[in-house]
Amino acid sequence: MLRIAALVASLTLLAVPAAAQTRSLAVTFDDLPYQAADAALCDPKAAMALTNDFLRMLKPLKSNATAFVNEGKVCEAQRPTLLPRIEAAWLDAGVDLGNHTFSHLNIHTTTAEAWLADVDRGEIVTRPLLKARGKTLRYFRHPFLFLGETSEKKAAMAEGLQARGYTVAPVTLDNNDWMFAAVYRQAEAAGDEALKARVGEAYVAHMAAVLDFFEPYSAELTAGREPAQVLLLHASSLNRDWYPKIHALYLARGYRFVTLDEALKDPIYSHAETTVKKAGVSWLHRWTASDGRKVRWEPEPPDWIVTAYKAAS
Ligand SMILES: [Zn+2]
């Protein structure tokens, strides 16, 4: 009897952690220093306040995040002094940094050569700062998730990134958080607390719906096993206020927060990817299309968010 009770107790102990966090994901934040009015990123006091408020939220969550910088978002006059302070704050909070181009350049409007020059310009502050801490700038995130709308451009961009030693950071869990963030920013500027709460709650519900879609969809690529996911979010006031709820949602669904390095070891990230598309979409769609299978799309944000976003922009 005692032995059975002990056996049941030890099985319970074994079963709980194993059943609890069996999924994994790497969280990434794009568009550093922040999605905010340009003026805020030219004022050192305002820019540091945005950064520190965001990191005060993020650091205790130990999310192993990687963040992608647009160096050109900080005004030229302030850049040499302000950007290293901002980046140091992110690194001190345990977040790794990657390149997201200097000016968030849209490849559809330019050449591969000009685009690669913007990649080079995007690492002037970040690369030496990482080096001084014994780290290497390795990760690159494509603006708009655009990989090139012709096969020539796509090949030239991929070769250029590889020659520079970059590892591309794909996105699997794409979700339009930026659309909610734009509406949230407007509510914030208007001091409309009720609207902020409504947008935040709709955002959390949308992120759950996106997971309901992507979890089984991703498993279709991997014989029923869900791969390690990469989540794309943005450095915004929406996430400063609501990311803890998103983080809790993932924990409740059994996710472990791993580094990008660890997530990219999943074999899914070496899956053949042969699509040439103008749209910026999840790699889950790119791999599905590369396999010659039919793409199905994740849920869109609610209509009232789409309408409010269009009105704001
Ligand atoms: Zn971006």
CB atoms within 10 A of CB 304: 12
pLDDT surpasses 50 at 13 = no
Q: What is the pLDDT of residue 57?
A: 98
DSSP symbols for the chain: -HHHHHHHHHHHHHHHHHHHS-EEEEEEEEEES-SS-GGGGTSHHHHHHHHHHHHHHHGGG----EEEE-GGGS-TTTHHHHHHHHHHHHHHTT-EEEE--SS---GGGS-HHHHHHHHHHTTTTHHHHHHHTT----EE--GGG---SSHHHHHHHHHHHHHTTPEE---SB---HHHHHHHHHHHHHTT-HHHHHHHHHHHHHHHHHHHHHHHHHHHTTTTTPPPPEEEEEESSHHHHHHHHHHHHHHHHTTEEE--HHHHTTSGGGGS------SS---HHHHHHHHTTPPP-PPPPPPHHHHHHHHHH-
d(CA 38, CA 236): 13
CATH fold label, 23-312: TIM Barrel (3.20.20)
Instruction: Compute the average pLDDT of residues 138-151.
Output: 98
192-213 pLDDT, tens digit per residue, is 999 999 999 999 999 999 999 9
State the distance from the centre of ligand 1 to the C-alpha of 104, rounded, in angstroms: 6
Q: β-strand 167-168 against 23-32: which pairing, if any?
A: unpaired
Q: How sure is the predictor about 150, in pLDDT bands with cuts at 50, 70 and 90? A: very high
State the distance from the centre of ligand 1 to the C-alpha of 45, rounded, in angstroms: 24
Nearest to residue 220, comparing CAs of 296, 137, 281, 155? 296
What is the percent of the chain with per-residue pLDDT over 70, rounded to a whole number? Answer: 94
State the distance from the centre of ligand 1 to the C-alpha of 25, rounded, in angstroms: 19
Instruction: List all residues 6 or more positions away from 10 whose beta carbon is below 8 Å from its beta carbon.
Output: none
State the distance from the centre of ligand 1 to the C-alpha of 215, rounded, in angstroms: 24
| Plot region of 62 (φ>0 → left; ψ -120 to 50 → alpha; else → beta) | left
73-83 pLDDT, tens digit per residue, is 999 999 999 99
State the distance from the centre of ligand 1 to the C-alpha of 97, rounded, in angstroms: 14
| Amino acid letter for position 28 | T
d(CA 90, CA 67): 8
Q: What is the pLDDT of residue 3?
A: 52
What is the percent of the chain with per-residue pLDDT over 90, rounded to a whole number? Answer: 91
State the distance from the centre of ligand 1 to the C-alpha of 106, rounded, in angstroms: 10
125: its two tokens: 């502050």
State the distance from the centre of ligand 1 to the C-alpha of 136, rounded, in angstroms: 21
Instruction: Compute the average pLDDT of residues 266-287.
Output: 96
14-28 pLDDT, tens digit per residue, is 444 444 889 999 999
Q: Which residue has the higher pLDDT, 67 or 313?
A: 67
State the distance from the centre of ligand 1 to the C-alpha of 224, rounded, in angstroms: 31
State the distance from the centre of ligand 1 to the C-alpha of 173, rounded, in angstroms: 15
Q: What is the pLDDT of residue 2?
A: 47
Nearest to residue 135, comparing CAs of 66, 228, 82? 66
60-70 pLDDT, tens digit per residue, is 999 999 999 99
State the distance from the centre of ligand 1 to the C-alpha of 101, rounded, in angstroms: 9
Nearest to residue 36, comparing CAs of 193, 175, 186, 194? 186
pTM of the complete model: 0.93
State the distance from the centre of ligand 1 to the C-alpha of 7, rounded, in angstroms: 52
33: its two tokens: 């220093």
pLDDT surpasses 80 at 107 = yes
Q: Which single residue is written with the structure tokens 């200097």?
A: 102
State the distance from the centre of ligand 1 to the C-alpha of 143, rounded, in angstroms: 5
State the distance from the centre of ligand 1 to the C-alpha of 223, rounded, in angstroms: 32
Nearest to residue 239, comparing CAs of 21, 61, 88? 61
166-177 pLDDT, tens digit per residue, is 999 999 999 999
Greatest extent of the chain over all pairs of C-alpha atoms, in Å: 76
State the distance from the centre of ligand 1 to the C-alpha of 107, rounded, in angstroms: 13
Q: What is the pLDDT of residue 10?
A: 47
State the distance from the centre of ligand 1 to the C-alpha of 13, rounded, in angstroms: 43
